Structure 1
Amino acid sequence: MNAPAPHTDPRPLHTASYYAASSAVQPDHPALQGQLAADVCVVGGGFSGLNTAIELAERGFSVVLLEGRRIGWGASGRNGGQLIRGVGHGLEQFTSIIGSEGVRAMTLMGLEAVEIVRQRVSKYDIACDLTWGYCDLANKSRDLEHLKEEAVALQSLGYSHEVRILEADQVHTVVGSSQYVGGMVDMGSGHLHPLNLALGEAQVAQCLGVKLFENSMVTRIDYGPQVKVHTAQGCVTAKTLVLGCNAYLNGLNPELSGKVLPAGSYIIATEPLDDATARQLLPQNFAVCDQRVTVDYYRLSADRRLLFGGACHYSGRDPKDIAAYMRPKMLNVFPQLANVKIDYQWGGMIGIGANRLPQIGRLASHPNVFYAQAYAGHGLNATHLAGRLLAEAISGQASARFDLFAKVPHMTFPGGRYLRSPLLALGMLWHRFKELG
């Protein structure tokens, strides 16, 4: 599928990314004005909010969705576009809390999460350049051993998609770089244009009866048996509230914002490459990701640009020049791109929790307030799962799966708003030193 033709938007509210420049035309949704009532008010117009709204509307609920800027403005419209199986990191650490069967159920939900995206794109014919094929790349021999163990584990779960191990002499069939000692191909994961997916899902939600409002920043929430959600020009009264703001929650709910750390992640996009160069870099057009703490991830766009991302920043300070910061990382993997132009550079915030498990639950103090956040860079699939689990719990249809996530405690980052990021930056530096060992 060819990439959509670039277009200009008179309201420069999206970051100047390749996705914004190549997205489908984004319809205008009004700002909230006046008073509305609904069964559920959803705050956040990214994947978490959109998919919760879709799942609830499909179950017959009336839903109002409030987005402070534009649909897909945050990480949902800026991310690497990598649709990768799994939720969380090292789920075995939660065995003492949810048991081995709970860990297995979470692992299976991590596979289901990708299938939710697959089915949603297919059912509603969303044009988002969905392409199947992904490879985890091993930087060291121990990484490759871990990938071999994961391949066995996937097979034991009955994973229905092709998984195969690449030894060192086979890596060139997937990536034209000498940086790696092996890898694991997964044909059940892939890549897509995330902003177009978000825009397509917004259209789906609207067709299902969800009332969407942009430029409607929430200024205050009155909690109680009925919640009242205030914006500058309006108010929504609802039986149930869903907070799906992730790294952009800011101080809207201090209890939740203290449990998620916003961390910067960055992407550059080259000029369009000729066919031969694109095939040399990624011969099978897979999305790929390495295994380092400071992860590199990259893929080709539909118009053959290399989209190269990574360099997660925990310091709270963005690089002054993203392209200058990221280009050496790209050239370390692909020195043959030394003379290739960088056409786009952008960054954004991802939400990270202390234990790297998505935080999906409800407030103990206000049980009609639900939330989903802290996807740790794997939000494209995990947000879709979160939307389903939230809808299952809110509808009373089933809550056992939701309860597995809700049972896991999540620590509040120490140091308050201003010391949180520097403290985590020191912690991540320790992990990088361990990686060198």
Structure 2
Amino acid sequence: MSLTTRDAQVIWHPYTQMKNPLPHIPIVRGEGVYLFDEEGKKYIDAVSSWWVNIHGHAHPHIAARVAEQLNTLEHVIFAGFTHEPAVQLAERLLLLLPGDQSKVFYSDNGSTAVEVALKMCLQYWVNTGKITRKKVIAFKDAYHGDTFGAMSVSGRSIFTDPFNQLLFDVEFIDLPNAQNIEQLKSKINYLSNEVACFIFEPMVLGASGMLMYEAQYLDELLATCQKHGILTIADEVMTGFGRTGKYFSCEALSLKPDIFCLSKGLTGGTMPLGVTTCNIKIFEAFLSDDKLKTLYHGHSFTANPVACAASLASLDILLKPETLENIKRVESKHREFAEKIKGHPKLKAIRQAGTILVMEWETGNDTSYLCGLRDKLYLYFLEQGIVLRPLGNVLYILPPYVISNEDLEYIYRTILQALKDI
């Protein structure tokens, strides 16, 4: 039997209606920006395998570091023990992150990084004696993950519908712009004595359709929060590690958040790892002779040495001058193509942030995640050997930084053809 047939007998795939699903392509090998199926067909991974693979598949430097670590120490409990890869990774991340981040807390993925951040903020107010600060502010179109805390601070959608009655209450606000910024600031001012924290995806909201907004308005929201002591959480799970043209999107801000959530590109797409960092103010609220003020959170694989080694190797590559050159090259190529297709009658909007290029197709009122265009576009590009995974009517390119100009041009030509054919 083929791998696809065997898969259908035993696997339940994510985000997939398993009654008559689209066929699952059996991938047997990856190399650079390419994936190869069991029949030898080659695909360009133009979405970095769910936004994680920033340096290309099977990168030899990461593979070598992982292999070395596997032969040294594969895992150790992180309560009461420590190890070199975890300490070294924390040291390097704190130097790289903008602002005054002081401590690193390890978890398993983006959702758990968000869970940790929320628990830090909510318990901060318990520990400091202001237990009335329980509300969280978030953007109404946000997506922060699929665990219950992360779902609670995500916009209500098909992802959360079955669980809405079980999610904690959140004050949702619109994305800021010139027209509504004063209204949003007034709302924060009004709620300030009740609000524990404000969580946001800086400048790009990923799973909600790659929505984008300007840093200057986020700065104004952060200033309002800081005036009232409201803690701020930057969810850079998707935007971190170069994706928007800077190492972190928050580098574009004048003010810096209290907490960062990181994952996805952290390990270069090699394996799961989550990180939540915080400033010293938050950390010190948990220092006490009272054991009840401890942050009682952990995971069996917290700070896994192999995942930390993969992250250190990924940072080695990220910080090379040629990687930043590649990021700028991809950004420039995207900008040129965006200019070329600007005003196309089948495109409702075009957006770009760094290596992310977004094309919102005109579909009338059918703009949901389940819109009929989604599968047509997905299958069209697969047939042409390109992995693009539309978010409803939103098609986006988010490739590994090592993608060649030739592969980018092929993707652009295929999109132009799709605009004629679909």
The question of a shared fold, defined as TM-score above 0.5 by the shorter chain, is answered with: no
